[in-house]
Amino acid sequence: MQGQQAKKDIEVDFESLYKRELTILSSYSATPESLERGFNYIKEEKVDFSPLISSILPIEKFKEGLELALSQKKLQNFILF
């Protein structure tokens, strides 16, 4: 299945959904071909991502990075392991 062509009916037990307070979420994911193309852009350095990165922190500063991310003062944080 891929893209919007992959339509399939599913059965849902709404009573169980309600009683167990479950939530159904949907998401969109890129195709394997799109992911490969994106990875190649990164690998071949065809795109400069540096303007998107606000900070790079070592693992020792994990707590600081988490606090930055949760405070939303920084949009992207990368933690090096």
What's the CA gap between 14 and 11, in Å, rounded?
Answer: 9
- What average pLDDT score do residues 54-69 get? 84
Domain containing residue 28: 12-80
Choice between 17 and 28, residue whose per-residue pLDDT is larger: 17
The answer to the question of residue 24 being in a domain is yes
In the chain, the number of structural domains is: 1
- What percent of the chain stands above pLDDT 90? 1
The answer to the question of residue 2 being in a domain is no
Residue 81 has what pLDDT? 46
The answer to the question of residue 72 being in a domain is yes
**Contact (CB, 8 A) for 80 and 66:** no
The answer to the question of residue 60 being in a domain is yes
Choice between 4 and 66, residue whose per-residue pLDDT is larger: 66
The answer to the question of residue 32 being in a domain is yes
The answer to the question of residue 5 being in a domain is no
The answer to the question of residue 31 being in a domain is yes
The answer to whether residue 33 scores a pLDDT higher than 70 is yes
The answer to whether residue 2 scores a pLDDT higher than 50 is no
